């Protein structure tokens, strides 16, 4: 861990971000971070409470002369996406993040950094601790489990918050103000299979797809990055037909909201097919590399000798699984007609895993149009149910409809132009910000989202730009000074 981070400006923000990197806080396991922020608020003698789902709320009175301003909710989420390279030894439930300065960026050694949403949390903490900033009444809302279920936002009860304006600090492009986001749904497909004995004449291999960049399944989906599950399944489908290959086990991806970077399979095939099989693997690697040369130049697809497994999947289920996964919608389904460059509807084939007679296929469906999201669910039913999969949907959350007449939008546009000499871009994001859920519970909130520039969130290449963190902080401070009166 490089303590150079503590020398970066603004120091009052970076010191809190550094502290957060030292606290393990993967989604659903962020209890230590909840306790840390709770004690932080209590140490400052500020009103601090933890609600039933472990969201933390800290209230700070207005500074002198600002008492008549509207109450501002500064909102961020405590959890982070736990992703690491396969060759990195790291326990996200125990180990601190090894963050360091890399030129103009802060990044981490082989893991996600947690700038999503550690930057927003650190900024709120810096405001709460400040002695010299000018601001009206502040409520800081630190939610839990945003990345895997939005549990904190789902569980927030009416009446807890007193604020008029919500500033979400979970966006990832400095100079842009976000006024809308996509809604989402989890798709869960389950196949049951019979374990059969491996034929006597079979030999075993481990197939590996590695070297992909991965990324955020909403923000990065229009980049057409390689999906490890799609790549691996494409070959499994072919080899099943051409080489008599049988599948013993599959393991690809581990988080719905991360484009899968790696996928593996243990397979068997007749010994006499070995030469053709290995030749085909090499040929397919060349095809994959050419197809993804620009976006994923480090892709690797290989077959290594493996110990012969005890069993393989029954052939009928294997065929149905491989065909359904091959046909599974993945990537951008439709671009928005209303906002240039915005993805309207997409899917991410996030996880394909087999264990003890069951194959689970997990996807995340996103759309800013509710009817399109329902249509997408029906596509999944049409693909997986005829293949014999039990298909269910859960964790649905609403989108956030843009309000171009928003008073806080106008305020922040004016502040940004005055401070930085240009008009910020107004955008919606193809990702699930908590604003949609929070606005459902508190419909009168005037909401906006912004943040510093973060690249490759939800992947071990995640990094945050140092200069934009400074601008993000200066913009937040200036905005708080200009919050309108009640």
Catalytic residue positions, numbered = 79, 146
Cα separation values, 477 from 16, 293, 339, 396, 433, Å: 16, 43, 30, 35, 22
pLDDT for the residue numbered 149: 85
pLDDT in tens, 97-113: 999 999 999 999 999 99
2 pLDDT tier (thresholds 50, 70, 90): low
pLDDT for the residue numbered 361: 98
pLDDT in tens, 47-62: 999 999 999 999 999 9
Average pLDDT value over all residues in the chain:
96
Rounded Cα–Cα distance for residues 468 and 477 (Å): 14
Q: Check residues 1 and 419 and name the one with the higher pLDDT.
A: 419
Q: What is the average per-residue pLDDT within 170-187?
A: 95
- Which of 145, 170, 168 is CA-nearest to residue 155? 145
pLDDT for the residue numbered 340: 84
pLDDT for the residue numbered 399: 87
Is residue 1 scored above 80 in pLDDT? no
Grouping H, G, I as helix, E, B as strand and the rest as coil, residue 216 is: strand
- Which of 41, 109, 110 is CA-nearest to residue 74? 41
pLDDT for the residue numbered 108: 97
DSSP for 423-481?
PPEEEEESS--THHHHHHHSTT-EEEE----EESTTSTT-EEEHHHHHHHHHHHHHHHH
**What tokens were used for 186?**
């989890």
**What tokens were used for 390?**
């039990």
pLDDT in tens, 226-249: 999 999 999 999 999 999 999 999
pLDDT for the residue numbered 343: 94
Strand-pairing partners, residue 189, are 361, 391
pLDDT in tens, 33-44: 999 999 999 999
pLDDT in tens, 257-310: 999 999 999 999 999 999 999 999 999 999 999 999 999 999 999 999 999 999
**What tokens were used for 132?**
């010299």
> What is the fold of 185-397?
Alpha-Beta Plaits (3.30.70)
Least confident of 137-141, 316-320, 395-399: 395-399
Cα separation values, 117 from 113, 266, 276, 399, 462, Å: 10, 36, 48, 19, 12
Rounded Cα–Cα distance for residues 480 and 471 (Å): 14
pLDDT in tens, 432-469: 889 999 998 999 999 999 999 999 999 999 999 999 99
pLDDT in tens, 328-380: 999 999 999 878 889 999 999 999 999 999 999 999 999 988 899 999 999 99
Considering only the C-alpha atoms of the chain, give the largest distance between any 2 of them, rounded to a whole number of Å: 84
- Residue ranges of domains in the chain: 3-181+399-481, 185-397
CB-CB contact of 126 with 9 (8 Å): no
Two domains, one topology: 3-181+399-481 and 185-397: no
pLDDT for the residue numbered 82: 96
Rounded Cα–Cα distance for residues 260 and 172 (Å): 20
pLDDT in tens, 78-102: 999 999 988 899 999 999 999 999 9
**What tokens were used for 444?**
């009168």
> What is the fold of 3-181+399-481?
Aminopeptidase (3.40.630)
398 pLDDT tier (thresholds 50, 70, 90): confident
- Which of 478, 432, 476, 480 is CA-nearest to residue 450? 476
Q: At what angle do helices 370-384 and 315-327 cross, to 10 degrees?
A: 150
Helix-then-strand count for the chain, H and E: 11, 25
Residues in the chain, overall count: 486
């Amino acid at each position: 861990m490089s303590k150079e981070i503590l020398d970066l400006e603004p120091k009052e923000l970076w010191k809190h971000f550094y502290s957060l990197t030292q606290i393990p806080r993967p989604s659903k396991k962020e209890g230590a971070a909840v306790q840390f922020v709770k004690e932080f608020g209590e140490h400052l003698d500020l009103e601090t409470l933890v609600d039933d789902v472990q969201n933390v709320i800290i209230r700070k009175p207005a500074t002198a002369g600002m008492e008549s301003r509207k109450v501002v909710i500064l909102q961020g989420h405590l959890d982070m996406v736990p992703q690491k390279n396969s060759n990195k030894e790291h326990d996200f439930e125990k180990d601190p993040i090894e963050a360091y300065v890399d030129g103009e960026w802060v990044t981490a050694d082989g893991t996600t950094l947690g700038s999503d949403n550690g930057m927003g949390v650190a900024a709120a903490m810096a405001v709460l601790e400040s002695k010299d900033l000018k601001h009206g009444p502040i409520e800081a809302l630190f939610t839990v489990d945003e990345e895997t279920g939005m549990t904190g936002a789902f569980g927030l009860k009416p009446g807890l918050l007193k604020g008029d304006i919500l500033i979400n600090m979970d966006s990832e492009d400095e100079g842009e103000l976000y006024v809308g986001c996509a809604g989402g749904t989890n798709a869960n497909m389950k196949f049951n299979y019979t374990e059969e004995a491996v034929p006597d004449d079979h030999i075993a291999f481990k197939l590996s797809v590695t070297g992909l960049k991965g990324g955020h399944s909403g923000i990065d989906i229009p980049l057409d990055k390689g999906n490890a599950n799609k790549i691996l399944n494409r070959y499994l489908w072919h080899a099943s037909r051409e080489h008599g290959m049988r599948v013993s086990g599959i393991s690809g991806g581990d988080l719905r909201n991360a484009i899968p970077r790696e996928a593996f399979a243990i397979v068997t095939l007749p010994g006499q097919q070995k030469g053709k099989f290995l030749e085909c693997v090499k040929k397919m690697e060349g095809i994959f590399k050419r197809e993804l040369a620009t976006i994923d130049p480090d892709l690797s697809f290989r077959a290594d000798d493996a110990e012969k497994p005890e069993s393989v999947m029954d052939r009928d289920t294997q065929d149905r699984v491989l065909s359904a996964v091959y046909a599974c919608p993945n990537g951008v389904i439709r671009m928005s007609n209303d906002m240039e460059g915005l993805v309207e509807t997409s899917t991410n084939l996030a996880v394909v895993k087999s264990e003890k007679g069951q194959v689970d296929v997990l996807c995340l469906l996103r759309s800013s149009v509710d009817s399109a999201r329902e249509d997408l669910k029906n596509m999944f039913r049409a693909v997986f149910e005829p293949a014999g999969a039990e298909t269910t949907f859960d964790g649905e959350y609403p989108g956030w409809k843009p309000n171009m007449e928003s008073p806080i939008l106008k305020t922040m546009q004016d502040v940004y132009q005055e401070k930085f000499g240009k008009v910020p871009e107004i955008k919606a994001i193809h990702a699930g910000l908590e604003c949609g859920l929070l606005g459902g519970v508190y419909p009168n909130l005037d909401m906006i989202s912004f943040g510093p520039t973060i690249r490759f969130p939800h992947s071990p290449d995640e990094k945050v730009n140092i200069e934009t963190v400074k601008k993000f902080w200066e913009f937040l401070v200036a905005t708080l000074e200009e919050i309108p009166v009640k």
